[in-house]
Amino acid sequence: MTAPSPTPSAAPPGTPAANTPGIPGIPGTPGAPGAGTPDTPAAPGTPAPRPTTASGATPAAVWRRARGYLIALAVLLTAAITLAALSSGTHHGRLDPRSPDREGSRAVAELLRARGVTTRVVTTADEAAEAAGPGTTLLVTDPDLLGGHQRRTVRSAIDLSGGRTVLLTPGATALADLAPAVHTAGKAHERTLAPGCALTAAATAGPADTGDGRRYSTTAPGATACYPSGGHPTVLVLPAGTTGGDTVVLGSERVLLNEDLAREGNASLALQLLGTRPDLVWYLPSLAELQDGDTEEKSFLELIPAGWNWALLQLFIAAAVAALWRARRLGPLVTERLPVAIRASEATEGRARLYRKTAARDRAAVVLRAATRERLAALVGVPSAHTHDPAVLVPAVAARVAEPAGRDLTALLFGTAPAGDAALVALADHLDALEREVRTS
């Protein structure tokens, strides 16, 4: 084992600091990195180093690695914003009297306007009940979307308004509050059905697309059942007590859609069901209706709209494929040669800089003393098991030193951490001197 080079004494005045060697790995020693030695200026004409990040990569390299992900993120954001803009319009709702889309209802609203019927769109049950009256027709486009409070509000309007209420394809839950005497009887299997009743509106309209929806049964006295399918009507007209109004249960929404209005007697039936009063209140329940406290609690998965489950599955598959694409090739670990060889002096200087930057004098002292004890143990014949045992090592070293009285070998080899950089340099000098003395003894 090669002994460390001795620490030289202070250089005479005028001696360049760059030529003064120091103790490798000990910050603060003369000549060690970061010990206050001025940097050597670069030669004229030498290009300035390129800026790097903390990890050593240049900004250009970081951009090359990240640009693919940034472009993909920009595409996703652009698509999301575009879809949100396209779907944010107020004229693209299903059964919306302002919508010219295939599933909108603007055509029937325009026909009603031509007959002198004004159409008012509301989105809450309170607005619908406030607008209802003897001269109004209240159309509820999606009764199943209503909560308990909203259903009770609409029911109060049915009982007190004296006008007509049209319930479009209500389910069992909505019927229990809005039309208790009516019950669902499954789905109709035919699309176009014959009137099958003496109701004036049905007889005038003739066959209409009231099938392809729900069928009903009722025990209400005075009810008129029309457009039967398999013995069960798809259109019911129920009297609403002594107020003079009535309730219409319509099992299919096709007679109101733009795309089907011109088929069969759909237009005639829609106009006669919705145009008996001068005012039409078109109630489009919004998602805010679900905030009622009486609504049925649903799990998180039940609240996810239809279609999102497939989208999430596709995203998961895409993420798994991307992970396999970017992952390392599977197989056993193999060794490879490093692209560069690092000199031991450079590694020592790098560690010394780290010690000095963090003021780790205690760690530096521990490393110095441990290395010295290992070398001394080999020189004085102490077994490796007792290298760091002061009761064994110190007497063996003291026997090889000519004049041990002036030094405390225990404090030198097993002492506490130095208080400052100067004390750390002095410790390194004393350890180096002790090792030289043992070698020459």
Question: How is the chain split into domains, by residue range?
Answer: 106-293, 355-441
Give the pLDDT of residue 106. Answer: 92
217 touches 183 (CB < 8 A):
yes
As a whole number of angstroms, the distance between CA 7 and CA 433 comes to 9
Give the pLDDT of residue 306. Answer: 66
Q: CB-hemisphere CA count at 13 Å for 75?
A: 6
Give the pLDDT of residue 79. Answer: 86
As a whole number of angstroms, the distance between CA 355 and CA 88 comes to 61
pLDDT tens, the chain, 441 aa long: 344 444 433 444 443 333 333 444 444 334 444 444 444 444 455 455 555 444 456 778 778 888 888 888 888 888 888 876 665 544 457 888 998 888 889 999 999 999 999 999 998 888 988 988 888 999 999 898 888 888 888 888 888 888 889 999 999 888 988 888 899 988 888 888 999 998 888 989 999 988 878 999 988 888 899 999 888 999 999 987 666 788 999 988 889 999 988 888 889 999 999 988 999 999 998 776 655 544 556 666 666 666 677 888 888 999 998 888 877 666 667 777 777 778 888 888 888 888 888 888 899 899 999 999 999 999 989 898 888 998 999 888 888 887 655 678 888 899 888 888 899 999 999 999 999 988 887
Structure tokens at 56: 């050593």
Give the pLDDT of residue 352. Answer: 84
As a whole number of angstroms, the distance between CA 143 and CA 149 comes to 12
What lies within 8 Å, CB to CB, of 178 at 6+ separation is 140, 143, 151, 154, 155, 158, 165, 167, 170, 247
What lies within 8 Å, CB to CB, of 280 at 6+ separation is 112, 117, 118, 119, 120, 136, 137, 139, 274
Q: How deeply is 137 buried, as exposed, middle or buried, from its count of CB atoms within 10 A (0-12, 13-18, 19+)? A: buried
Composition of the chain by helix, strand, coil, percent to 5: 45, 10, 45
Give the pLDDT of residue 34. Answer: 41
Question: What architecture is domain 106-293?
Answer: 3-Layer(aba) Sandwich (3.40)
Tell whether pTM > 0.75: no
Please report, for the chain, how many H helices and E strands are present, in that order.
14, 9
Please give the full DSSP string across 359-390, using - where no structure is assigned.
T-HHHHHHHHHHHHHHHHHHHHT--GGGTT-H
